[in-house]
Amino acid sequence: MRDVSGDREAVALGPDRPVRWVGVGEAYEMPRPEIVLGFQGLCLVKPVDDDDWYMGSLYDDGGIDCWTAYGDLYEALRGL
């Protein structure tokens, strides 16, 4: 994870946090995260029952707003 993303401080975060999709013209609560990876203010989220990975902003209160999706983890890590 750290090698592909280039972020030596990347960490796995607890999944118990609110996640919202905030795409163009829409905003809604996403399904509960299965995996959350943190990267200096950004994060990647893998929801339960979804094969995609979502990139978003990680806020001080633990909430996440996602705005883009990737088909696999490697692609998402390279997108950081």
Q: How confident is the model at residue 9 (pLDDT cuts 50, 70, 90)?
A: confident
Bigger pLDDT: 2 vs 39: 39
Concatenate the DSSP letters of all residues of 24-65 into one string. Answer: TT--EEPPPEEEEEEETTEEEEEETT---EEEEEEPTTS-EE
Sole residue written with tokens 């959350």: 36
* Residues contacting 51, CB < 8 A, separation 6+: 71
What is the tens place of the pLDDT at every residue in 16-75? 999 999 988 889 999 989 999 999 889 999 999 999 999 999 999 999 999 999 999 999
According to the model, what pLDDT value does residue 29 have? 95
d(CA 64, CA 58): 5
d(CA 15, CA 17): 6
